[in-house]
Amino acid sequence: MAAVWQLVVLAVVWCVGLVLSSKDTATELKRFTPKENTELSNLVYYNGILYVGGRDFLYSFDEELKKKQTVDTCTKSCKSNYNQVLLLNKTTQEMIVCGTGNDGFCDRRSLMDLSNVTYTPSKENRDWNTMVVSTDVERPALAMMWDDNLFLMAVTYGANILHNINTDKHEYNALTLRHNSFVFNDVGNTGGSKLLIKIKTTVSSLSNYVVYYKDVFRDDIYTYLLTNQKKYVGNDTYVSKIVQLCNYDPTFKTYVDMELTCVKDGVTYNLVQDSTVGKINGEDHLIASFAKGNEPENVNGGGVVCSEKISELNRQLTNEAFKFLKSPFLTDSEQYLSLTSSYAFPVSYYIIEQFFSSPEH
């Protein structure tokens, strides 16, 4: 979808005033010191314990931020292991951990003892369906629990991502729904959920399909992904997109997306960095931070925080779906995935038809 939706810049004056007015009663925050020069990337708080994913180490702290455990995640032939995914599974009382070291393999660890690896894929039996993240620290990965036993996994293409070579074109799984055991969730006769983006192209052109997954969240009947990606295949401009998945579609092929930007003082911030959902004046808002630049791996200094009602974003996304339904043939400048003319219309039309025929929409 080609539309661009601008989020509203949050008023920062209120925040500054709050800080100044509280200086007389301010207290020093508790601190913890990780290993020297260790970057920290992911935080999870659960049952009074803070879990932290850092480079080469995992940590746990009590409510006073006193260190409970430090676990080395860079072992054997590992040179460096940047934590990419730290996902809590309350059902199994485990943490799903993925990093750039150890060939990008993901594992499961006990919440009671992070050094206790309860499951890890076998390197000897590794194939293109094995759950790994890129060994390139600049290529992110995301995960979110879907229900008690399933989780959504989004992996940006990069070094060490394997392809299925048993087809006419190489393919890899960018977005998948998996069981606790890391295997695909089977949906009907689809042979496993290879969701939304199952890239199928030549290896030499895979760089055109690098989608930087920045955040994932659920709200009501939808799941949303925030991404940095090329405006369309062959274009040199990077944009941010919000992708809306319908949770009631068992194959997760029902989705719509649109571009997101944040404009402040005439300056466009085009690369979303992170987000959260919070209530402002009683309504759910997407609150997102943006940077600017033309390379997601090299953003310019400075940034801005913007917000918009989730209901307004949903309205705009629905408008985009209606516009496509009226004119489903897309030009190169309006589509991201490179679909051949022989099946572009049936696939796209099926997606939108399912979107509007679902009783929940």
Q: What is the pLDDT of residue 84?
A: 96
Q: What is the pLDDT of residue 197?
A: 44
Q: What is the pLDDT of residue 142?
A: 94
Name the 3-class secondary structure at 181. Answer: coil
Give the pLDDT confidence of 207-221 residue by residue, as tens digits: 677 889 999 999 888
Q: Which domains does the chain have, with CATH numbers?
A: 38-263+329-357 (2.130.10.10)
Q: What is the pLDDT of residue 277?
A: 92
Q: What is the pLDDT of residue 205?
A: 64
Give pLDDT < 50 ranges for the chain: 1-2, 11-26, 188-200, 337-361
Q: What is the pLDDT of residue 57?
A: 94
Distances (CA, A) of 12 to 16, 19, 273, 305, 312: 6, 11, 18, 9, 22
Q: What is the pLDDT of residue 201?
A: 52
Give the pLDDT confidence of 318-343 residue by residue, as tens digits: 887 777 776 656 565 555 543 333 33
Give the pLDDT confidence of 262-274 residue by residue, as tens digits: 888 888 899 999 9
| Contact call for residues 154 and 197 (beta carbons, < 8 A) | no
Q: What is the pLDDT of residue 122?
A: 78
For strands 212-219 and 194-201, give the pairing. unpaired
**pTM of the complete model:** 0.82
- β-strand partners of 40: 54
150 sits in which H/E element? strand 150-155
Q: What is the pLDDT of residue 21?
A: 35
Q: What is the pLDDT of residue 78?
A: 85
Q: What is the pLDDT of residue 282?
A: 92
